């Protein structure tokens, strides 16, 4: 039995393509379009304060301070340096609890930080961090990191929802 194929005239395909393009352009407006300039500034400023407090608190209290800034929902994931896949909140929590006692001092600072409000409750950020850690025996490790993440606003404030951290190679 011979298969029959539906043939669509060229002009019909052309019209369908044009209509699809118009729908994409009109229907997929950026999320920022709904935010006023003052809302963007406010969201950006509040995320910046949170991320600056994040590194300050880690410097004062060590890695366990991170728990105040991580979103503990099932939607959380992170890709730490050297990993090829994301890990869950529970995995990050185990790593932090195991690593925290190994260091007598942790110092982290943002060398650059760009924040992009997405909605009233979501924002993305990307930045370069400089990290200096001192082990219990006085050994020091200094590295630069690139980090990109998504922040989510919860009732308790902005939280790290997901992201990726990479080590910057030394030149």
**Domain spans, the chain:** 32-167
According to the model, what pLDDT value does residue 22 have?
46
pLDDT in tens, 116-155: 999 999 999 999 999 999 999 999 999 999 999 999 999 9
> Can you name the CATH fold of 32-167?
Nuclear Transport Factor 2; Chain: A, (3.10.450)
Higher pLDDT, 34 or 116: 116
DSSP 85: S
Calculate the average pLDDT of the chain: 87
Reported pTM = 0.78
């Amino acid at each position: 039995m011979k298969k029959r194929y539906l043939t669509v005239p060229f002009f019909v395909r052309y019209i369908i393509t044009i209509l699809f393009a118009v729908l994409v352009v009109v229907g997929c407006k950026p999320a920022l379009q709904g935010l006023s300039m003052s809302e963007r500034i406010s969201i950006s400023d509040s995320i910046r304060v949170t991320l600056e407090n994040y590194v300050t608190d880690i410097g004062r209290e060590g890695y366990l301070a991170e728990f105040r800034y991580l979103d503990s929902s099932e939607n959380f994931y992170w890709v730490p340096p050297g990993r090829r896949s994301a890990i869950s909140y529970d995995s990050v929590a185990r790593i932090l609890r195991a690593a925290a006692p190994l260091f007598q001092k942790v110092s982290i600072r943002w060398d650059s930080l760009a924040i992009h409000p997405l909605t009233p409750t979501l924002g993305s950020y990307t930045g370069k961090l400089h990290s200096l850690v001192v082990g219990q025996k006085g050994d020091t490790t200094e590295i630069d990191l690139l980090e990109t993440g998504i922040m989510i606003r919860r009732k308790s404030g902005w939280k790290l929802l997901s992201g990726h951290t990479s080590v910057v190679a030394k030149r």
